[in-house]
Structure 1
C-alpha cells in the first residue's frame, strides 16, 4: 500500500495521518504538542511522532512511507524548509525539513498550516471552483490562506495571510507576536475560551461552552461572543478591502458553532461594508482533516514534481492529477485516538 506521512502541527495538538495515493486517510493519530515544555521539546515531539508513523506504516503495509508533508504554524520559508517563527510554539529559525529528512530518510515538504489547509479546501473543499478566496480557521490562533486561481499565495517572505496579527484594537491585549490588540487575541477560539472562563467563573469552560450558553440566552455569553464577532468582522473587512475575495471560508474550532457564529458574523461584516463587494461567508467543508489532507497533498505533489509517481497516477490528465476527485478523502480504515 503506497502511502505518505501527513502531519498537521497546531498550537495545542498534532494531527497526523498516513495518506494513500488516492487521498484516503489510511491511519490517523493525534498527540498533544506540549508547547508548555518549550520549543526544543516540541521539535523533538514532532520528530518522534513522524518516526512512529513511519514505523507503523512499515509494519502495517510492508513498505515505508514515500514522503512526508508537514504543516506548521507561524511564518514558514517553504523553499528552504525553515520554520521561521511561531508565537504559539515559541520557536525561531528551525530547519524542520532537514531535521525530518534526517530522522525519516525520505523527501519532506514543509508548509504553513493554514495555507496547507487552504490548499485542501481549495482543491476539494469549500473553495473548489472559486477563483479568489480567503480561508480563515479560528483555532488557537488566527491566520489566513489566500487562494487565487487554484494557487495558495505564500507571499514574498512566507507570511502572506497572517490576518491574526492585524491590530484591530490599538493598545489592547498583548500578543505573542509582541504587538498589542491583534485580531487573534479577541476572536480566536482560545481568546473566546479565555474570556468565557473569566466571565463565567468556570476555569474549565471553553469556547464551545460559550457558544452553547449563547444559544441558551446567557447575557454574559452573548457579551463575550459579540465582542469576538465585532473584532472578527473588523479584521475581515480589512481583508476584504485589501484582497477582494469572492468567498470567505471560515473554519477551525469556533466555526463548529455553526449559525451561532455565521448569522451574526455575516450581519456584522455587511454592516461594515461600504464601497467593497460583499463576499460569500461560508463554513469550511473539511473540518479538522483539512491540515492533514493538505499535508498529504504536499507530499504527493513533491513526489510528482520529482517524477517519482507511476504514469498511471501522475501527469495533468492522470487519475491523481491536482484538482481531480482522486484526492477526495474516503473512509479511514483505522483511527487511533
Structure 2
C-alpha cells in the first residue's frame, strides 16, 4: 500500500560570507548552487571582533532583504586557525581575533544556524563540489595570495586537523632564507606568495611604492615582466615556481593527491604558472603518484561559495563529502 505524504517544502537559500582583511564578500546561494544575490563591503579598519562581526551582521541582513525566500542558514569563512567543530576563530591575526566564538555570536545576532570555516578550506570545498576538482577523491588546493594556504581532500574527506591543517605556506624550503611572520626562516610564503613575488622583485630593482606605501606593482605585473624578458622578474618568478614545486612535492608525498589546484592572485598568471609548476613538481617526484596541476575555476567567489556549502552541510547535518 502506498501512503501519500505531503512533499517537503523546497529548501531555501543559504548565505555564504567570506571575511577577508580588505573585503567582506557575501552571496545567497540556492540549494542547486545558483547564486541568487551578491554583496560586497569593505572590512572595517578596526579589527576588534565586535566591529567586524557587526559589519558581517549588517551584510547578512542587507542580503536577506534581497532574497524573497526564507534564508535557511549562514556559512562564514575567515582566515587563520579555525576550529570548525566549535565555531571558534582560535587565531585570526589579520582580523585581530583570538579565541572568538564567531558562530555563536553571529547566530545570536542573526537568528540563523551558523557554520564557521577556514577561508582556504572553504575555497577547496567550492572547487571540489562545484569546480575543477568536482568528483575527485584526493585533491589539494593551494591559494597563492597575501600568504599561501591549502585545502586537502583525502579519500573523499576534507582534512581539518582541528583547524591546523593546510598550512602549506609555512613549509620550509630555504632554512637560511628570510624570516617569516610565523617566526621560522625560509617558509614557502616568503618566496612564492603574491606578496613575496612583489617584494623580492622590488628588492632586486629598487621598485617604488605608491604614496600610501602600497606596492606600485602586482604579482601579475611581475609575471608579465618576466614573460617579456626582464631578468630580475624572471629570476624572482623562477624562484617562486621552484619553491612551490618543492613544497607541493612534499604535500603530494604525504597525501597522495591526484589533482593539484592553484588559486589566488598568483594563479591569474595562468599558463605561465601552471606549466612551470607542473614541471617543477614532476622533477621532485620519483615513485609517487604524479598529480595534474590545474588552475582554480571558481575565482574570487570560491570562498563565498564554499562558505555557503559548509552552511548547507551543517544545516542538513551531513559531512562535507
Both proteins in one fold, TM over 0.5: yes
Which of 280, 289, 294 aligns to 1:277? It is 289
Please point out which of 104, 109, 119 is paired with 2:125: 119
Secondary structure of 1:144's partner?
A: strand
- Where in structure 2 are the equivalents of 1:97-136 lying within 5 Å? 97-136=103-142
Q: Which residue does the alignment assign to 1:28?
A: 38
* Counterpart check, 1:163 vs 2:168: yes
Distance 1:87 1:258 in 2: 30
Please state if 1:140 is matched with 2:146: yes
Distance apart, 1:144 and its partner CA: 0.9
> Which ranges of structure 2 fall in alignment gaps of 5 or more residues?
1-10, 210-215
> Which SS does the other structure have where 2:95 is aligned?
coil
State the match for 1:3 in structure 2.
Answer: 13
Corresponding residue to 2:235 among 223, 248, 255: 223
Deviation at 1:112, TM superposition (A): 0.9
Residue matched to 2:213:
none
Kept in 2: contact 1:196–1:206 (CA 8 A): no
TM-score computed with the length of structure 1 as normaliser: 0.83
| Alignment root-mean-square deviation, CA | 2.3
- Would the aligned equivalents of 1:5 and 1:54 in 2 still touch at CA under 8 Å? no
- TM-superposed CA distance for 1:175, in Å, is 2.2
SS of 1:140's equivalent in the other structure is coil
Question: 84-93 or 17-26: which moved more?
Answer: 84-93
Moved more, 130-139 or 170-179: 170-179
Write the mapping of 1:208-247 to structure 2, written as runs, cut at 5 A.
208-247=220-259
Of stretches 76-85 and 270-279 in structure 1, the one that deviates more from structure 2 is 270-279
The yes-or-no answer on 1:192 pairing with 2:197 is yes
State the TM-score, normalizing by the size of structure 2: 0.87
Alpha-carbon contact 1:131-1:148 (below 8 Å) kept: yes
The corresponding residue for 1:89 is 95
Alpha carbons of 1:30 and 1:198: their partners in 2 closer, same or farther (altered >3 Å)? farther
Give the Cα–Cα distance (whole angstroms) in 1 for the partners of residues 301 and 20 of structure 2. 13
Partner-residue secondary structure (3-state), 1:99: helix
Post-superposition shift, 1:7? 0.8
Deviation at 1:62, TM superposition (A): 4.7
Structure 1 residue 170, shift from structure 2 partner: 1.3
Deviation digits for residues 189-211 of structure 1 (CA, Å, limit 9, x no counterpart): 12212223444413211101111
Q: Which runs of 5+ in 1 are unaligned?
A: 307-320, 324-337
**What SS class does the counterpart of residue 316 from structure 2 fall into?**
helix
- Specify whether residues 56 and 243 from structure 1 end up closer, same or farther in structure 2 by C-alpha distance, changes over 3 A only: closer
Q: For residue 329 of structure 1, what is the aligned residue in structure 2?
A: none
**Matched positions, count:** 304
Flag the structure with more relative contact order, 1 or 2, with Cα contacts below 8 A and sequence separation at least 6.
Answer: 1
- Cα distance in structure 2, aligned partners of 1:215 and 1:287: 23
Which residue number in structure 2 is paired with residue 254 of structure 1?
266
* 1:88 to 1:182, Cα distance in 2 relative to 1, 3 A: farther
Q: CA deviation at 1:245?
A: 0.8
Contact 2:28–2:67, Cα closer than 8 Å, also in 1: no
Distance apart, 1:38 and its partner CA? 5.4
Asked if structure 1 preserves the Cα contact closer than 8 Å seen for 2:25 and 2:39, the reply is yes
Q: What is the alpha-carbon distance in structure 2 between the residues aligned to residue 238 and residue 297 of structure 1?
A: 29
1:39 equivalenced with 2:47 (yes/no)? yes
1:64 to partner: Cα distance: 5.4
Aligned-pair CA distance for 1:277: 2.5
Q: Which moved more, 1:42-51 or 1:93-102?
A: 42-51
Q: Does the 8 Å CA contact 2:16/2:311 hold for their aligned counterparts?
A: yes
**Contact 1:4-1:18 within 8 A present in 2 as well:** yes
